[in-house]
Amino acid sequence: MAKVTEAPGPLGQPCWVTSAADNGHGYAVMTYLGGTAYVHRLSYQLHVGPIPEGMQLDHLCRNTRCVNPAHLEPVTAKENMARSETVGGRAVRTGTCKRGHSLDDAYILRKGRKCRTCQRLYQAGELYDVAFHSQNAKKRPDLTSA
């Protein structure tokens, strides 16, 4: 396994920051059994045990290069998305668009939700875009019912 350096993090225990290569999305990866594997997933399996089928590991410390198993929690893809700091994650978590409008009455499209308030302001010429929260129906079918 790649070199790991302890670094202070937001949690009580320090983060274990790995020196492994970056996959381009902030996650450390390494060659494993002829393929490419996420180092944090290997670390969890090594120290804790098997990751339940279909589960993702959420970084409780929000440091995606951290491989401290104490900072990793198996969650569903839906839960991981809701916890993330992306616009989509915010929409799932707070039920508001990027401008803070409620998405309760948003237009439900096949690919996601479109903010109705933004749409109204857009048509009135007050906005240049409409907040849209894509929910990849193909990859994450469970999000469409959220």
3-class state of residue 121 by DSSP: helix
Residue among 71 and 113 whose Cβ is closer to Zn ion = 71
Count interface residues toward Zn ion (CB under 5 A): 14
Instruction: Determine, following the binding rule CB under 5 A, whether residue 57 of this chain makes contact with Zn ion.
Output: no
Of 68 and 135, nearer to Zn ion (C-beta) is: 68
Backbone angles phi, psi at 26, to 5 degrees: 90, 0
Residue 91 vs 131, nearer CB to Zn ion = 131
131 binds Zn ion (CB under 5 A): yes
Query: Strand 21-22's sheet: what is its strand order?
Result: 21-22, 28-32, 35-38
Where are the extended beta strands (E) located within 8-67? Answer: 15-18, 21-22, 28-32, 35-38, 56-59
The least CB distance from residue 95 to Zn ion, in Å, is 11
Told to check if 118 binds Zn ion by CB under 5 A, we report: yes
Cα(62)–Cα(59) distance, rounded to whole angstroms? 5
By the 8 A CB rule, do 133 and 97 touch?
A: yes
Nearest distance from residue 17's CB to Zn ion, in Å? Answer: 8
The secondary structure element, H or E, covering residue 5 is strand 4-7
- Position among 41, 71, 114, 133 found at the interface with Zn ion (CB under 5 A): 71
Among 61, 81, 106, 143, binds Zn ion (CB under 5 A): 61
Q: Closest separation between CB of residue 15 and Zn ion, Å?
A: 3
Residue (63 or 80) nearer to Zn ion, CB: 63
Report the alpha-carbon distance of residue 67 to residue 16 in Å, rounded: 5
Residues that bind Zn ion (CB under 5 A): 9, 15, 61, 63, 66, 68, 71, 97, 99, 101, 115, 117-118, 131
